[in-house]
Every structure is written in C-alpha cells, then in structure tokens.
Amino acid sequence: MLPEFYQFQHPTKMIYGEGLASDFSHELESLNAKKYFMVSDQVINDLGLLDEIKKGMEQGGCTITGLFLDVPQDASIEAVEAISRQAVASGAQGLIAVGGGSVIDAAKAANFTFSHGGDLIEDYSGAGTLTEPLKPFVVIPTTAGTGSECTLVAVIYDVENKMKMVFSDGYLLPDIAVLDPIMTKSLPPKLTASTGMDVLTHAVESYVGVDTSPHSEALAVAAIELVFNNLVQATENGADLEARGAMLIAANMAGTSFSHSMVGCVHSMAHATGAVSRVPHGVANGILLSHGMEFNFDDCKEKFARLAYFMGEDVSGLSVDDGAKKAIKAVQNLHKRLNALGAIPINLREAGVLEESLEAIAQKAEEDGSTIYNIREVTAENILVHLKNAY
Ligand SMILES: [Fe+2]
C-alpha cells in the first residue's frame, strides 16, 4: 500500500571510487570555495590518511587553512564551538570532515555558526532553524556505519548535562560525500562488525517504520543485500576493498533511507543501552536487532518475509510467518558469524550490561526519540521482555 503523501529530497552528491579521496578536487569547482578547514581525529591523522587528501586538494588549487583533531568519541558542544571559531579565524570558505560519525557530526554542527555566526545552542537547537544555506561542506567517511555523510541530523553530546542534543535541518546535508574504500581499510574487525550491524539496523528499521516510503524501501533492501554479501568478508579481511566499498555504499544507502523514514525500537533500546551501560551504538544494535524484530513480529511479518529474500534466504513456498522467521534467523546467524570471528559480543551480558540495569534501560527506551516511529507502541514493560531475551 502506498503512503497517502511523502517526499524525498537528497541534495548530497555522492561520488564513489577507489583512491578518490586523494583525487576529487575537480568536484569542488561547483562549490565556490577554495579554502577549507579540515576536521578529523588523531587516530586518522596518525594513520596518515589526511596527507593524501590534503595533497590532492592542493594539486587542484585548494588550500587547507587549518586542522582540528580533538573531536571526542561523542562529539561535544565544546569541540563544535572550537571548530567553528578556528575555521572562521583561519579564513576558510568551507569545511571538510574526514572521519566517523562523531567527526562528521561535529563539523556538520560547526557549520551553523561558521556560516552564520550566533550561538550554537540558543540559535540552532532543534529542527529547521535555518532559512538559508550553509557554507560548502565536504565529507569523507572513514567508517561504514552511521551514514552521517548523507543525513540531515547532527547528534552532539552536552557533557555538562549528560545528554545528547539533536540538531536537524535540511541545510545540514553535506554538499559532497566522497566514498573511498581505501579510507576504511584500516578499520579494525570489531569496529567493522559493529558499524556494519548499525547499517543493517538502519535499513531494517527504515524498511518497516511508520514513515517509510517506496524510495526509502528501495534503498533499504539494496543496503540489506550488500550487508549480507559483504560484512563478514570486510570483517575477516580488512584489505578486501570490494567488500569495504560495498559496505560504504550500504551505509550511504541505509543512511539516506532512514534519514527520510527514521528508525524504531531497536535504536530506542540501543540508545538506552548506550546511555545506561556505555555499550557502543553498533554493538548494541547488533545484539538487539533480532529481538526488536521479534517485538514487531505481528505488525511487520509480511515485510520481514520479503526481506528474507534480500538476506539470501530461500523463501519459496513458505508461509508469511515462516518467511518472517527466516529473516530473523538470518540476522541472528550473521550476528553469530561475526561473534565467532571475535568481533562482536553475542548478548547484553557479554557486552558488559548489568542485569539490574535492564529496567532502567527499558524505561529510557520508552522515552527515546526513536520510539514514536516504531510501528508498535513501546512501553518499558513490553520492551523489558525482549531486553531480557537479549541478555
Ligand atoms: Fe544507528
């Protein structure tokens, strides 16, 4: 059944290619900026990944006016403000972010005050605060997970008040996303597996969410197929550039999909598990995805049965119930294979969650922002059963 109304806008230009991160300066000609302030982190700098990018940009007549490497694991307000301040002082005309979700989100949020001045919290908190475009923004992801290079959201951590702030605006979308598998080659197996399970969770939740659309669904199934065909290979052999590239594309497709249709109860539980027990986002999603599918089973089984095919399962002649169960089993099997590689914990206990924390996690999951987009109502009581199953 088609939605009564939906819209789909995706202005970010995506370019994909091996070695592209050191040879994309011609793409910047359309952006009307020659001077860029670069945002990244120390690990990426130590890996030498920034040198080739800088060289390539300089050969194309662009200048890097400065470099910010102090983005913490959760992008903080302080880091965002420092980036903006330093970028303005350096005389930059645009921003380039090279990193994972935190680096990209920090640069994304810094573009508010870098472009238009004012105060980050007072002037730009919440959704849709902008009336005109931001300065040019280029992103080169070094993980295949968040899809932040193609979402209109920046999540920033308020250290003082211990809470995550969400900034959302269509103008936050980067102008160009450069997907180069060489940039993710050094990602260790644990991060490859957990960020990859985050991609899968984005795609599955976007596909079945209350705000999904034919456009979101198409990108979600394509992403799911790529994850099932490439995540184990990318985890086993980081130098497999074909698998690395496929995961970058999957992350981008799943990101574009959920940016339009949002995520659901798996993310509610994962956010809560992260907040209460500091379990990394992708690790929590990997553990909780099949349990969230069980939670939504009655409302989503036709869709799960369809997804089983894209997960590589033979569903011919099966009933809807059996087809849907095959999809859940396929997710569990993928997770088990990654666990067997030593790349990801199998349950919440192994991830370090204390059993007595489950009730607090359930309560936070009920209150989480993703909960309103889940097809079935999430309460602390009904989700606790599934958190216990995941323990
Ligand atoms: Fe996620």
Higher pLDDT, 236 or 160: 236
d(Cα 218, Cα 330) in Å, to the nearest integer? 20
Burial call 79-110: b when 16+ CB within 10 Å, e when fewer:
bbbbbbebbeebebbbbbbbbbbbbbbbbbbb
Q: How far is the CA of 146 from the centre of ligand 1 (A)?
A: 6
| Under 8 Å between Cβ of 354 and 361 | no
Q: How far is the CA of 203 from the centre of ligand 1 (A)?
A: 10
Q: How far is the CA of 200 from the centre of ligand 1 (A)?
A: 9
d(Cα 359, Cα 192) in Å, to the nearest integer? 30
Q: How far is the CA of 1 from the centre of ligand 1 (A)?
A: 27
Q: How far is the CA of 35 from the centre of ligand 1 (A)?
A: 32
Q: How far is the CA of 319 from the centre of ligand 1 (A)?
A: 31
Question: What average pLDDT does range 363-374 have in this prediction?
Answer: 93
d(Cα 176, Cα 140) in Å, to the nearest integer? 9
pLDDT confidence bin for 159, thresholds 50/70/90: confident
d(Cα 342, Cα 333) in Å, to the nearest integer? 14
| Under 8 Å between Cβ of 164 and 115 | no
Q: How far is the CA of 57 from the centre of ligand 1 (A)?
A: 31
pLDDT over 80 (residue 217):
yes
Residue 4 CA neighbour count, 13 Å, CB half? 1
Q: How far is the CA of 258 from the centre of ligand 1 (A)?
A: 9
Q: Which residues contact 205 (CB under 8 A, 6 or more apart)?
A: 258, 262, 263, 264, 265, 266, 267, 292, 370
Q: How far is the CA of 205 from the centre of ligand 1 (A)?
A: 10
Q: How far is the CA of 150 from the centre of ligand 1 (A)?
A: 13
Q: How far is the CA of 70 from the centre of ligand 1 (A)?
A: 23
Q: How far is the CA of 28 from the centre of ligand 1 (A)?
A: 29
Residue whose entry in the numeric block shows the structure tokens 């033979």: 314
pLDDT over 90 (residue 280):
yes
Q: For position 166, what pLDDT does the model report?
A: 87
Shortest CA distance to 146 belongs to which of 307, 293, 256?
A: 256
Q: How far is the CA of 204 from the centre of ligand 1 (A)?
A: 11
* The CATH number, out of the four listed (1.20.1090.10, 1.10.760.10, 1.10.10.10, 3.40.50.12780), of the domain defined by the range 187-389: 1.20.1090.10
Q: How far is the CA of 87 from the centre of ligand 1 (A)?
A: 29
Q: How far is the CA of 59 from the centre of ligand 1 (A)?
A: 36
Q: How far is the CA of 287 from the centre of ligand 1 (A)?
A: 13
Q: How far is the CA of 201 from the centre of ligand 1 (A)?
A: 7
Q: Which residues contact 31 (CB under 8 A, 6 or more apart)?
A: 94, 136, 138, 175, 176
Q: For position 97, what pLDDT does the model report?
A: 98
d(Cα 255, Cα 67) in Å, to the nearest integer? 27
Q: How far is the CA of 137 from the centre of ligand 1 (A)?
A: 22
pLDDT over 80 (residue 162):
no
Query: Is residue 189 exposed (0-12), middle (13-18) or buried (19+ Cβ within 10 Å)?
Result: middle
Q: How far is the CA of 140 from the centre of ligand 1 (A)?
A: 18
pLDDT confidence bin for 289, thresholds 50/70/90: very high
| Under 8 Å between Cβ of 338 and 197 | yes
Average pLDDT across the chain, whole number: 95
Residue ranges, comma separated, of all CATH 1.20.1090.10 domains in the chain are 187-389
Shortest CA distance to 77 belongs to which of 112, 37, 106, 111?
A: 106
Q: How far is the CA of 127 from the centre of ligand 1 (A)?
A: 19
Q: How far is the CA of 32 from the centre of ligand 1 (A)?
A: 33
pLDDT over 90 (residue 160):
no
Strands in 86-208 per DSSP E = 94-99, 126-127, 137-141, 153-158, 163-168, 176-179
The lowest-confidence range among 33-47, 161-175, 282-296, 320-334 is 161-175
Report the run of H or E that residue 198 belongs to, with start and end. helix 189-208
Say what the pTM is.
0.95
d(Cα 252, Cα 151) in Å, to the nearest integer? 9
Question: What average pLDDT does range 265-289 have in this prediction?
Answer: 95
pLDDT confidence bin for 216, thresholds 50/70/90: very high
Rounded to 5°, the CA angle 337-340-343 comes to 90
Report the run of H or E that residue 386 belongs to, with start and end. helix 380-389
Residue ranges, comma separated, of all CATH 3.40.50.1970 domains in the chain are 13-183
Give residue-wise pLDDT tens across range 72-86. Answer: 988 999 999 999 999
CATH architecture of 13-183: 3-Layer(aba) Sandwich (3.40)
pLDDT over 80 (residue 364):
yes
Give residue-wise pLDDT tens across range 106-152. Answer: 999 999 999 999 999 999 999 999 999 999 999 999 999 999 999 99
d(Cα 3, Cα 165) in Å, to the nearest integer? 30
d(Cα 148, Cα 251) in Å, to the nearest integer? 9
pLDDT confidence bin for 301, thresholds 50/70/90: very high
Q: How far is the CA of 196 from the centre of ligand 1 (A)?
A: 10
Q: How far is the CA of 17 from the centre of ligand 1 (A)?
A: 25
Q: How far is the CA of 267 from the centre of ligand 1 (A)?
A: 6
Question: What average pLDDT does range 336-348 have in this prediction?
Answer: 97
Q: For position 17, what pLDDT does the model report?
A: 97
Give residue-wise pLDDT tens across range 233-244. Answer: 999 999 999 999
d(Cα 389, Cα 19) in Å, to the nearest integer? 44
Q: For position 388, what pLDDT does the model report?
A: 97
**109 token code pair:** 């949020």
Give the bridge partners for 164, in sequence order. Answer: 157
**69 token code pair:** 């490497």
Q: For position 161, what pLDDT does the model report?
A: 79
Q: How far is the CA of 135 from the centre of ligand 1 (A)?
A: 27
Q: How far is the CA of 281 from the centre of ligand 1 (A)?
A: 7
**323 token code pair:** 């087809």
Q: How far is the CA of 373 from the centre of ligand 1 (A)?
A: 14
